[in-house]
């Protein structure tokens, strides 16, 4: 399952892909940049979140 999140520490129940909003948009109309984080069943996130 894919889900759009607005923060890197967004809660997750696992087994999903988080699309984290970037700071770039297309003429202030569309959100066109996302960072991808995969959360597996035990809650491990790949890639690891920035500190």
Residue 2's pLDDT is 92
Q: Give the mean pLDDT of 5-34.
A: 82
User: Given a cut of 70, is residue 51 above it in pLDDT?
Assistant: no
Residue 20's pLDDT is 86
Residue 50's pLDDT is 56
* pLDDT tens readout for residues 21-31: 877 766 777 77
Q: Give the mean pLDDT of 30-36.
A: 80
And the tokens for 8?
A: 């890197």
Domain boundaries in the chain?
2-46
- The predicted model scores a pTM of 0.70
């Amino acid at each position: 399952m894919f889900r759009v999140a607005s923060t890197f520490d967004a809660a997750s129940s696992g087994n999903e892909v988080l699309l984290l909003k970037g700071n770039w948009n297309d003429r202030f109309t569309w959100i066109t940049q996302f960072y991808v984080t995969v959360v597996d069943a035990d809650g491990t996130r790949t890639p690891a979140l920035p500190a």
